[in-house]
A and B are shown apart, each in its own frame.
Chain A
């Protein structure tokens, strides 16, 4: 089946079996291997991507269901020149070790902070409890997300300012 959607700002078209998950489509057809597959049954969160503004588990979505959607993966939340404020915060707090859960953590944190930059530690923990990590014990990840709030607050304020102007 032909499916068309946007990934990280770029229009793509793929021809896939209905049974192909969005995760496998991103990884193997589009070679965006930053999104990782850790369980294929919707528990570990390593496959988290953003679809139409919402963080979702891409292993639980069929590629064909993404027709017409706007998708952002960890690659779309990165740039070559520098680390983003969220990435810098992760690095500063040593919020990753093996790196396998990291893309899922980054996309989930980005989704949370984009909609709620005032979130507190309890909220951050609650949201991240859908992303499993075996290396860090989570504490530095929570600290990193909290530390990144300032940058998202500033961005939200300046976006609002832009809207008013």
Chain B
């Protein structure tokens, strides 16, 4: 499975990178960590004429934490998120999700931007982006723009990016203290793509009722999904067994997965519900800590 032939460029500035990706002849693709792209090249599922390496672009690096948000540069590697102590409190849901991504060696190279741009329906980062109302800042030949996560993922391996556009950073809204959250994933083996996973959070009013509930699932559709019907069931009530059961049922009803070689549609549908249920149980248990 040798790679098909391509040219290679390693620009040092963002404008240079955009220019390379915008060239009318040929088919240029950016390469970040390569953990998703290189296997596609190995299977010859993609045959770009030019690879534009993003590793020297300083603008794409760094994790910035402010009062308003947590900003991850597109080239931030999973390893950096794992090692960043601040994120334990600044965005614990992100940290929990990243722990499930692939394997040790892959986490040393894979990037935030790469995962978002690749848009695998079972990938964790798109799930976090969708669940947390992320904003994805991109730049292309027409300039810079911001795409809401809800508009970003358009199908399996399909995003709103045009071929000349690069993700610069992703911004997650700041995470208040006292927020209840849970992340639950089930994969065939540790590190495999999720068969289904759920990311949930809600804030607690003074009367112990939930508000601002966010429920997201991955692995059960052609893109990560927010589940407003499950959120509606949670908002305005105490998160007890009945509430969790209702959210589980709502989640099952809201998704429409397909049969594939790993699981039946019926199984994945039920699994989505189970992941939401277990994630909510974790969230509710956090209250006691």
A and B interact physically: yes
Binding site for B on A (CB under 8 A): 1, 17-21, 24, 40-42, 45, 48, 54-57, 59-62, 64-65, 67, 108, 112, 126-127, 129-130
Interface contact B105-A45, CB-CB below 8 Å: yes
Q: Tell me how many residues of B have a C-beta within 8 Å of chain A.
A: 31
Subset of 5 A-B contacts with CB under 8 Å: A20-B3, A56-B108, A60-B38, A62-B34, A130-B106
- Best-surrounded residue of B34, B55, B79 (most CB of chain A within 10 A): B34
Chain B residue at minimum C-beta to C-beta distance from A18? B8
Known A-B contacts A17-B5, A60-B109; the reply to A108 vs B34 at CB < 8 A is no
Interface contact B104-A127, CB-CB below 8 Å: yes
B2: chain A residues at CB < 8 Å are 19, 24, 40
- The answer for the CA separation of A59 and B8 in the assembled complex, in Å, is 17
- The answer for the CA separation of A40 and B102 in the assembled complex, in Å, is 16
Chain A residue at minimum C-beta to C-beta distance from B103? A130
**B286: CB under 8 A from chain A?**
no
Closest CB-CB distance, A160 to chain B, in whole Å? 19
- The answer for the CA separation of A130 and B109 in the assembled complex, in Å, is 14
A57: chain B residues at CB < 8 Å are 35, 105-106, 109
Interface residue SS majority, chain B: loop
- The answer for the CA separation of A54 and B80 in the assembled complex, in Å, is 12
Interface contact A18-B108, CB-CB below 8 Å: no
Closest CB-CB distance, B83 to chain A, in whole Å? 10
**B262: CB under 8 A from chain A?**
no
A61: chain B residues at CB < 8 Å are 34, 38, 109
Chain A residue at minimum C-beta to C-beta distance from B43? A41
- For window 175-204 of B, CB contacts with A under 8 Å fall at 189-191
Closest CB-CB distance, B61 to chain A, in whole Å? 15
Closest CB-CB distance, B51 to chain A, in whole Å? 7
Chain A residue at minimum C-beta to C-beta distance from B110? A60
A64: chain B residues at CB < 8 Å are 8, 10, 53
- The answer for the CA separation of A41 and B4 in the assembled complex, in Å, is 14
Known A-B contacts A18-B7, A129-B191; the reply to A54 vs B103 at CB < 8 A is no
